[in-house]
Structure 1
């Protein structure tokens, strides 16, 4: 259980979409400062003095190190930055697949490695990572990055618990942001995702399973793989 009131947070990919929604919600719930991190911090609209734009490229180890040297008061970390390339793992462009893994998997892992000691030194806190319903339902390279992050979060949750650090994974289907602009189907509002994720933080939970799609996929994980992939039964 992590109370957000009085906390200092850092959100990656904070310049738009879910990242911007996380920044706003954290402030509403009582955070005293939010580092709004992005590759181009000048794109952050910092109308509130509690918002601190911060340069951070999650694919650049030096950038992560510099951010960690600045944001030494963080107790809540939100790993939100991500991209969707979604190449075929069999025939797709390997350079693009590597770029996707560098952003969606290695990015959160390296940011967590850099900030976990900071959270511990500050008395503990919480790490929130955006997974996806596609952590559990595979449709190419994007799903693979999110499945890997889900596994990494499970490992980090166990390892960091003795340090008083709560790890929350967020699983959701399409979210109504620019990333899913061309997708068809039901889209979950960003604010719903953020509210359920932060509710989970405050309630001491481990996973936020947001929206009907994520809930349905989760409900079938214990069944034969052909339930999730009916094309295999043909």
Structure 2
């Protein structure tokens, strides 16, 4: 689908990747951009339609779908990372990550699927992660939630194909946002990732591997688990 003339809704649009997605949508000629966030007072972009939306709140998600009935492109970007391990971590924090990173985009997809169908099919973009394919110490809850989001993308791509809705999954390593401020490692520009995601919408690609790290991890999925994790741990320690 063409971004020019599209009506887009971006969750978590107040900062980081979400804010860049809003800017790139505007530059590409989107007719309208709904910038959604839990606190619309944190949205700084001009020329957008701020929309209060907590993706963990069923009532707010349904209200957003009712208020934004002209949407042709849904971007599921809102997410959190708590650094919680699965075995010893606080179960409430694990559930909070799943509620935001998996059930959040599931809720918005379910709510907006009829909207997209009514408007010709459109597209959905899910911001996933290379951590959907591996885990590191402390990333257990995040990796589990993003693995679920990967399967959400694959499943809804099949389920929504009949109504002409294109689903894109975006995988990446470290992106230069507040979430990874404490990591001393090469980071991808949010603007570069946002452009890659929108390029995929326009070209019809189903998956975006946003950086070398995402490509490296994806390439190892066919390896024996021991070999794959030896390679990942070696790259992490290099």
TM-score normalised by the chain length of structure 2: 0.94
The alpha carbon displacement at 1:226 in A equals 1.2
Structure 2 match to 1:27: 26
* Whole-angstrom distance in 2 between the partners of 1:94 and 1:58: 20
- Which residue number in structure 2 is paired with residue 166 of structure 1? 166
In the alignment, structure 1 residue 146 sits paired with structure 2 residue 185: no
CA distance, structure 2, for counterparts of residue 211 and residue 173 of structure 1: 7
Cross-structure match for 2:40:
41
Contact 1:46 1:52 in 2 (8 A): no
Q: How does 1:107-122 map to 2 (within 5 A)?
A: 107-122=104-119
- Whole-angstrom CA distance in 2 between matches of 1:175 and 1:42: 24
Post-superposition CA distance 1:69-121 (Å, at most 9, x none): 10000000000000001311111110000111100110000010000110000
Counterpart-to-counterpart distance in 2, 1:57 and 1:129: 16
CA distance in 2, matches of 1:123, 1:96: 38
Aligned length: 230
Whether 2:74 is the aligned partner of 1:81: answer no
- 3-state SS in 1 of match to 2:33: strand
Distance 1:228 1:36 in 2: 39
Aligned partners of 2:227, 2:200: CA distance in 1, in Å? 29
Structure 1 consecutive aligned stretches of length 4 or more whose deviation exceeds 4 Å = none
1:62 corresponds in structure 2 to 59
Contact 2:19 2:45 in 1 (8 A): no
Alignment of 1:16 with 2:22, yes or no, is no
Cross-structure match for 1:126 = 123
2:236 maps to none
Once the two structures are TM-superposed, the CA of residue 37 in structure 1 deviates from its matched residue by 0.1
**Equivalent-residue separation in structure 2 for 1:101 and 1:228 (angstroms):** 26
2:215 is aligned to 215
Q: Find the residue that maps to 1:78 and give its secondary structure.
A: strand
Residue of structure 1 equivalent to 2:50: 53
Q: What 5-or-longer segments of structure 2 have no aligned partner? A: 234-238
Shift of 1:213: 0.4
Determine whether 1:102 maps to 2:104: no
Contact 2:23 2:45 in 1 (8 A): no
Alignment RMSD: 1.4
Aligned-partner Cα distance in 2 for 1:39–1:164 = 30
Using the alignment, how far apart are the partners of 1:24 and 1:217 within structure 2? 29
1:204 Cα deviation (Å)?
0.4
